[in-house]
């Protein structure tokens, strides 16, 4: 049995020898040496369990759960257990807990792809499923289950191989598949899931709005936000402050498998085209991020607007933009720069003089002057960023992962917390489904019970009637002491736009402190040339 270590590749299959699978599972899960002789269907019997229970065996009773987990090999043996008298013991039906376990498939990338591994590679995310399962058991979300078996299929967001892995998981009677974690791969996998009426959960970077089509993807659930949400949140911010003439600037450096800024730019343009009073007066996709490129661009922008939306993929690009703005005299109180982020960092990112994220070059003051005119829009922060990622890294070095290289996780890139919440979403939806009398739901049945709200690893998780997430955004700026302040919270609800909200977290005296307490106008009183 492949198990769920890094050796698992595309289309894992169970070993043909059940005793071998049993024994290998025991080794993977590090059962005590005194118990290894029980990892065989000939020796693992009633007499062996009785000796363990009465402490007449060197194998401790505490190991029984693991032994039973490996013996079950990821299958539901409830009917067989009942048929063979398990429920007639003094414990009654309680022992049936050991007769079933949830089978979870995970489709993720390898740890060797430089373009996507830091986001969705197994070494950046896999232990998050274990962490979620621990929380599920602790909170009693699925009291009828004590065990979970996970297997990984590893491919670098290949459309064909991801769908092939999903089909293999379905054929092997898995209960849920988490992934694929790239939009393109999920589109075909979502179609496959529809055909089989099988549930899949997307947990990768923000995705293309094509997956919102419920007719095409009725069994796809998501814990990641859709890019369209970010575009709508930006428009809400613009409308709130009556900024109607905007520049849109973006720089693309990420793999086409996990695009961000290109999708954001397209969705913002679509939203603006549908708006009555908002106009994109300048749009540019940058192909390089040199100082001269930014300065030439700023000269053109200052002639047509004071409000700039910027999406870049990297700290150095944002820093170079802010420096160029200052150099071109565009650091006055008239200017507003709105940066669209996706780090969940819980703060205004210090790209002017933090040596841990940028290389200091003597231009720190120029970058800071530009940063004072910046509003940073990010997703709500993780509940415990440092603690969460530290535990993921610690578990990554232990069996069954046994990570030996590339074991440090990027807190800005890893989608591990979204993967953990995908497992939590499955548990909540399964709980509701079981309460409705459907303990083994199909994809559409699970989707019908997936409208839930819970405190996840990525903060509050709100799943709407479409099975997608209503994201929460936070707007950060610098106060008069150049300290980060969260000033606005925007909740965007795709399936009910009238219920979307903007909540002030700080008064205007804090929000506009770096601008003399005054909100910038859409257009200066004396015009762009005055």
Strands 200-202 and 220-222: parallel
* Residue among 395, 461, 388 at smallest CA distance from 424: 461
Domain 101-224+385-462 has what CATH class?
alpha beta
Intrachain domains 101-224+385-462 and 228-381+471-515 with the same fold? yes
C-alpha to C-alpha distances, 507 to 11, 167, 483, 500, nearest whole angstrom:
55, 53, 15, 20
- The neighbour count for residue 334, using CB atoms within 10 Å, is 17
* Residue among 44, 502, 487 at smallest CA distance from 236: 502
Is pTM beyond 0.75? Reply is yes
pLDDT of amino acid 75: 66
Q: Is the dihedral of CA 157, 257, 192, 180 positive or negative?
A: positive
pLDDT of amino acid 416: 96
Topology of domain 228-381+471-515 in CATH is: Rossmann fold (3.40.50)
**Residue 58 neighbours by CB under 8 Å, 6+ apart:** 34
pLDDT of amino acid 502: 93
pLDDT of amino acid 331: 96
180 — phi, psi (to 5°)?
-65, 165
> How far apart are alpha carbons 8 and 111 in whole angstroms?
12
Give the pLDDT confidence of 89-101 residue by residue, as tens digits.
666 666 665 666 7
DSSP per residue over 331-383, as a string? -STT-EEEEE-----SS---TTT-TTTS---S-HHHHHHHHTTEEEEEEPPPS
Q: Is the dihedral of CA 260, 407, 20, 78 positive or negative?
A: negative
Give domain limits for the chain.
12-88, 101-224+385-462, 228-381+471-515
HSE at residue 97, side-chain half, CA atoms within 13 A, is 15
Compute mean pLDDT per 10 residues along the chain, 530 residues long, and list them: 38 61 85 92 84 86 78 70 71 64 89 86 94 94 83 92 95 93 96 98 95 96 96 95 97 90 95 92 94 96 97 92 97 96 85 90 96 95 84 89 83 94 98 94 98 95 95 94 94 78 91 90 83
């Amino acid at each position: 049995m492949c198990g769920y270590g890094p050796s698992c590749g595309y289309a894992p299959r169970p070993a043909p020898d059940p005793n071998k699978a049993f024994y290998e599972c025991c080794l993977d899960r590090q059962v005590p040496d005194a118990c290894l002789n029980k990892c065989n269907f000939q020796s693992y019997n009633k007499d062996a369990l009785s000796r363990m229970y009465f402490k007449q065996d060197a194998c401790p009773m505490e190991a029984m759960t693991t032994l039973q987990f490996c013996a079950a090999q990821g299958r539901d043996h409830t009917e067989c257990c009942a048929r063979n008298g398990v429920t007639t013991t003094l414990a009654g039906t309680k022992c049936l807990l050991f007769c079933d376990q949830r089978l979870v498939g995970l489709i993720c990338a390898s740890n060797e792809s430089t373009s996507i591994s830091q986001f969705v590679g197994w070494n950046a995310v896999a232990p998050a499923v274990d962490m979620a399962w621990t929380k599920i058991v602790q909170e009693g979300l699925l009291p009828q289950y004590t065990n979970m078996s996970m297997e990984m299929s590893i491919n670098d967001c290949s459309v064909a191989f991801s769908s092939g892995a999903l089909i293999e998981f379905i054929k092997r009677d898995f209960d849920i598949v988490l992934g694929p974690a790239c939009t393109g791969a999920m589109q075909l996998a979502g179609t496959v899931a529809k055909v089989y009426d099988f549930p899949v959960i997307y947990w990768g970077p923000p995705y293309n709005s094509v997956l919102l089509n419920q007719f095409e993807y009725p069994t796809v659930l998501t814990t990641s936000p859709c890019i369209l949400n970010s575009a709508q949140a930006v428009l809400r911010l613009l409308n709130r402050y009556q900024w109607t003439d905007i520049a849109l600037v973006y720089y693309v450096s990420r793999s086409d498998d996990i695009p961000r800024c290109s999708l954001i730019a397209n969705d913002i343009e679509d939203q603006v085209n549908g708006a009555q009073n908002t106009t994109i007066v300048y749009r540019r996709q940058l192909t390089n991020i040199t100082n001269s490129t930014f300065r030439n661009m700023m000269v053109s922008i200052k002639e047509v607007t004071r409000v700039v939306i910027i999406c870049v993929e990297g700290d150095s690009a944002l820093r170079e933009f802010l420096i160029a703005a200052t150099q071109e005299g565009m650091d006055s109180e008239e200017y507003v720069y709105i940066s669209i982020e996706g780090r969940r960092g819980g703060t205004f990112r210090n790209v002017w003089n933090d040596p841990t994220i940028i290389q200091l070059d003597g231009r720190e003051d120029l970058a800071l002057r530009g940063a004072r005119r910046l509003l940073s829009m990010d997703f709500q922060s993780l509940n415990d960023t440092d603690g969460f990622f530290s535990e993921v890294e610690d578990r990554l070095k232990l069996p069954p992962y046994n990570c030996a290289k590339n074991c440090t996780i990027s807190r800005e890139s890893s989608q591990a917390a979204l993967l953990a919440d995908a497992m939590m979403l499955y548990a909540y939806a399964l709980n509701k489904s079981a309460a409705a009398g459907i303990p083994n739901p199909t994809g559409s049945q699970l989707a019908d019970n997936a409208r839930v709200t819970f405190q996840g690893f990525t903060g509050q998780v709100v799943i709407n009637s479409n099975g997608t997430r209503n994201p929460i955004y936070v707007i950060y700026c610098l106060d008069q002491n150049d300290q980060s302040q969260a000033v606005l919270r925007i909740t965007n609800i795709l399936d009910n736009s009238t219920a979307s909200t903007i909540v002030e977290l700080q008064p205007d005296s804090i929000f506009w402190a770096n601008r003399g307490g005054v909100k910038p106008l859409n257009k200066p009183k004396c015009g762009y040339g005055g």
